[in-house]
Every structure is written in structure tokens, then in C-alpha cells.
């Protein structure tokens, strides 16, 4: 990962990023050419430009831009750099430097481990240098954020041939050891003893074992007397089961169906690294969904962890089956808030695309407002959908307590109402099916797994009241 460091003074022969406005007076040490070009740039309508001189590139950025605009420019700068550029120094107001640095750092991510010429493809940049006006605390927070997001992206991009449920649990355990969290991994026999029927049913078609991972971060003097529980969908690969998906544009990217698990594991990891004063528990049910062996079938009736019976109408609605067991398990902690994250429905993607996550639930409006503000600040936006009880009628079964599929419309909401049934605490459901995976490169979010939800939830927890 690209390093972030502070500089005492600008070094000669370095690539510069100058954030300025019309009132900015640049130091003469930057050279007459850069000073003259900056004056010309400030008179133009351009927001971003660059000058190629004898010492390499100097980038010019107008500082009167929103945080997200600066992050995107940070990604543009990364795209412009040649492989021989090893360091870049930022000049400007501290908050502007941080926004540019965030865009640069997040866009420096690469998943190239399976290329035989990976060394040739590797980004040349090694260090981004910020001025001493930028606090070490803010720099460390940005470094930890990138570590968590990159970890999540790596997991989402990893093919199932290298990341089954057991390997996901092992990766989460490594996070716990690093960040001082307690991690307990339940294996199949323990899951059977708990009678987690949803997780076991989805796993019946697979030769790989399911796991249920419990992560706890409990700081001294936490501000919350009851924990916040984060639940992440960990379907490491989804064929759809016997309700088999088509391959093009669907099954071929279903290694990403554990993005909710990556999000929640990454969030609690980041909270622990940053030593937030919030007691958090993360629950990660994990399995793949295959059509083999004794795979569960449409028409089956499954008894869940809490005793609820569910009629299976579609085995491709498997995420809600494993989440339901985990959500019911959360009740034992008597949490003050439960949030889940899942790449749950195509309906959410079709409704709002990749630009935001769909959220809904029964938590207090104030909590939803806090979550929305937190998302807007980091540009991981949310759109709240209605959660009326009318929708719950669509998941009533004629032969069991519930069915795992609603009608043809509002699928993201009926899925949320299904999950709500299993939670006794205030609840928020996040459907991240849109932003969790990008088929094409998009600014600092990259291509493939994005790590969506981590920056949003960390910012929410950091300011949690």
C-alpha cells in the first residue's frame, strides 16, 4: 500500500500537487514557472490541470471544490503518474490535502496477484507526502481506512477457488489478532448444535463446510451500554443453487456475494484500529450456494435458528436464509442497534444503480438521519425505502410461517421485511448490491470489489450518539 508521510519542507525534484485559490501566494522555492502557471490556472475555468517541466509533473487543483470532487481528482492524478514517480508532495490547506490524499490512496489499489507479470503492472508510486499542518491523527485514520477497504476489496475480488467459507473465517481471525478483537469461529458441528437451519440448508449443496464467525470489539468505557451488532452476508459464491443463475452478467461475478461480510468485518476492524469508544459485535454467516449433493430445493420447508419455519420458493434467495439465522442469534446480546449489510437483491441495483445503498428498517429516524449524514460526508450515499407492514403480507406462506420470496415488485423491501422478522432490536437493513461491485473502473472506487459500506459505517460509528 502507498505510504502517507509528513514532510518538513518540499524536496527538490519531486512531483507536486498544488491546491490553491486566487489569494494563494506560492513560495518562490517552487520556481517561477510553477508560480506563473498557477496564476494563469486560477484565471481559467479549469478545476484541475498539470504542467510538465524539467522536474516532472506539477499538478494544479482549485481548492474551492467539494470533498468528493477532490477525491476524484486524486484518482485522476494517480492515473496520470508514470511508473518512475515514487513520491508526490501535496501543498495546500490541510483538509484539502487529506481529500486529495484519500482519493489517491484509495485509487492506488490493485488486484494483480494472479498475473505472472504482476511486478511490471505494479504502481510505481510509493509515498504521498503531506505537510506538517496535517495532523498525524488524521493521517493514521486515513491509512487505517485504506487498510480496511483494501482488505475488503481483496476478499471480494478473490475467487472462490481461493476463498471458501473456512478461508474467509481464517482471514477475519487474522484481523482480530492484529486489532485486538475477540474472534470465535463456529464450524459445522457447532452450527448444527445451534440448529441454524437457514445456514445449513444453503450449505447442503456444497462439499465445503459453512462457518459462523463472531467478532467482538469491546473497548473500556464504551459509550454504549448495549452493543451495536453488525451482520454481514457471507455467501462466498452463489450459483443460485437449484434455481440456477445464468452465467453472463450474473453468476460470473458471484464471488462478490460476500461483500456484506467483507464490509462488516472491515468496519469492526477499522473501529478497533482507531480505538473507537463503541462496543461492537460482528456476526458473519458464511457458505457457498451450490446445486450439488443434497441441495435444498424450491418447496422445502426449513426450520430456522429461532424456530420460524420458512417455505423455500427460490434457492437463489439464499442470502436472507443465512442472514436470518445470524439476525436471530443477535438477540442474545440484547443490542441497542442491529445493522446488516448484504448484496441481497437485484431489485436494489435496478432501483438506484451503483451510486448508493438501499436502506430501510425500524430504527429511530434520528439513527437513520445520522447514517445518511455519515454517508453523504464520505460520498457513500444511502436511499431510505419505505418499510410499511403492508409489505410483510407478501412473504406469508400457506404452509409455513414465512416464505423466502415476495411478489414480483419491491423485492428489496419484501426481503427486508423477511429479515426484520428475526430481529428483536431496532434494526437497519443495508442492501449494497449496487455499489459493492463495479464492472468497469470508476475513479477511486476502482473496478471489481469496492469495499462499499466501510467508510460509511465507520463515519457513522465515529460520531455515534
Q: Which residue in 76, 245, 424, 462 is the catalytic one?
A: 245
The contacts of residue 408 (CB under 8 Å, 6+ apart) are none
DSSP label at residue 239: -
Count of CB atoms situated within 10 Å of the CB of 395: 24
Please, what is the Cα angle at 312 between 306 and 315, to 5 degrees? 115
Backbone angles phi, psi at 81, to 5 degrees: -70, 140
Q: Please give the C-alpha separations between residue 230 and each of 200, 206, 279, 280, 461, in angstroms, as whole numbers.
A: 21, 26, 11, 7, 11
Count of CB atoms situated within 10 Å of the CB of 336: 16
Give Cα 422 distance to the centre of its chain: 24
Give me the torsion for CA of 199, 200, 203, 208, rounded to 10°.
Answer: 110
The answer to whether residues 130 and 100 touch, using CB atoms and an 8 Å cutoff, is no
- 373: annotated active-site residue: no
Q: Which residue in 147, 233, 320, 417 is the catalytic one?
A: 320
Count of CB atoms situated within 10 Å of the CB of 3: 12
Count of CB atoms situated within 10 Å of the CB of 30: 15
Whole-number Å distance between alpha carbons of 104 and 73:
8
Backbone angles phi, psi at 301, to 5 degrees: -115, 125
Whole-number Å distance between alpha carbons of 173 and 159:
19
- 320: annotated active-site residue: yes
Whole-number Å distance between alpha carbons of 42 and 415:
51
Query: Which grid coordinates are listed for 192?
Result: 448444527
Residue owning grid cell 467539494: 66
The answer to whether residues 56 and 88 touch, using CB atoms and an 8 Å cutoff, is no
Whole-number Å distance between alpha carbons of 321 and 234:
11
The answer to whether residues 341 and 230 touch, using CB atoms and an 8 Å cutoff, is yes
Give the pairing of strands 280-289 and 337-342.
Answer: unpaired
Q: Enumerate the active-site residues.
A: 245, 320
Amino acid at each position: 500500500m502507498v505510504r502517507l508521510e509528513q514532510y518538513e519542507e518540499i524536496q527538490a525534484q519531486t512531483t507536486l500537487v498544488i491546491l490553491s485559490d486566487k489569494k494563494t501566494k506560492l513560495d518562490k522555492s517552487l520556481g517561477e514557472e510553477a508560480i506563473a502557471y498557477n496564476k494563469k490556472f486560477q484565471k481559467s475555468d479549469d478545476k484541475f490541470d498539470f504542467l510538465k517541466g524539467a522536474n516532472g509533473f506539477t499538478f494544479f487543483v482549485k481548492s474551492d471544490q467539494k470533498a468528493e470532487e477532490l477525491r476524484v481528482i486524486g484518482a485522476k492524478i494517480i492515473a496520470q503518474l508514470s511508473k518512475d514517480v515514487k513520491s508526490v508532495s501535496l501543498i495546500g490547506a490541510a483538509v484539502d490535502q487529506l481529500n486529495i490524499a484519500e482519493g489517491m490512496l484509495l485509487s492506488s489499489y490493485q488486484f494483480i496477484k494472479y498475473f505472472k507479470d504482476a511486478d511490471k503492472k505494479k504502481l510505481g508510486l510509493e509515498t504521498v507526502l503531506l505537510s506538517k499542518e496535517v495532523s498525524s491523527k488524521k493521517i493514521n485514520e486515513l491509512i487505517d481506512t485504506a487498510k480496511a477497504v483494501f482488505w475488503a476489496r481483496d476478499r471480494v475480488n478473490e475467487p472462490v477457488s481461493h476463498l471458501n467459507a473456512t478461508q474467509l473465517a481464517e482471514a477475519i481471525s487474522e484481523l482480530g489478532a492484529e486489532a485486538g478483537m475477540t474472534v470465535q469461529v463456529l464450524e459445522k458441528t457447532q452450527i448444527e448444535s445451534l440448529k441454524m437451519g437457514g445456514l445449513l440448508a444453503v450449505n447442503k449443496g456444497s462439499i465445503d463446510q459453512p462457518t459462523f464467525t463472531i467478532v467482538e470489539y469491546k473497548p473500556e468505557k464504551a459509550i454504549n451500554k448495549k452493543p451495536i451488532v453488525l451482520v454481514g452476508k457471507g455467501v462466498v459464491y452463489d450459483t443460485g443453487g437449484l434455481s440456477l443463475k445464468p452465467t453472463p452478467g450474473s453468476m460470473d461475478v458471484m464471488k462478490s456475494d460476500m461483500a456484506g461480510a467483507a464490509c462488516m468485518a472491515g468496519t469492526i476492524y477499522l473501529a478497533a484500529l482507531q480505538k473507537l469508544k463503541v462496543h461492537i459485535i460482528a456476526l458473519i454467516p458464511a457458505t457457498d450456494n451450490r446445486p450439488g449433493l443434497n441441495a435444498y430445493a424450491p418447496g422445502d420447508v426449513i426450520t430456522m435458528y429461532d424456530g420460524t419455519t420458512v417455505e423455500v420458493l427460490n434457492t437463489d434467495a439464499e442470502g436472507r436464509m443465512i442472514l436470518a439465522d445470524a439476525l436471530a442469534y443477535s438477540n442474545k446480546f440484547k443490542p441497542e442497534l442491529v445493522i446488516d449489510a448484504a448484496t441481497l437483491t437485484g431489485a436494489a441495483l435496478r432501483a438506484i444503480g451503483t451510486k448508493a445503498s438501499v436502506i430501510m428498517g425500524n430504527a429511530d429516524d434520528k439513527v437513520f438521519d445520522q447514517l445518511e449524514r455519515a454517508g453523504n460526508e464520505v460520498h457513500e450515499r444511502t436511499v431510505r425505502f419505505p418499510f410499511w407492514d403492508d409489505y410483510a403480507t407478501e412473504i406469508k406462506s400457506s404452509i409455513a410461517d414465512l416464505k423466502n420470496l415476495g411478489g414480483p415488485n419491491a423485492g428489496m423491501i419484501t426481503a427486508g421485511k423477511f429479515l426484520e422478522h428475526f430481529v428483536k432490536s431496532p434494526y437497519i437493513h443495508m442492501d449494497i448490491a449496487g455499489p459493492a461491485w463495479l464492472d468497469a473502473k470508476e475513479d477511486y472506487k476502482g473496478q471489481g470489489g469496492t469495499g462499499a459500506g466501510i467508510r460509511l459505517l465507520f463515519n457513522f460509528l465515529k460520531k455515534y450518539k
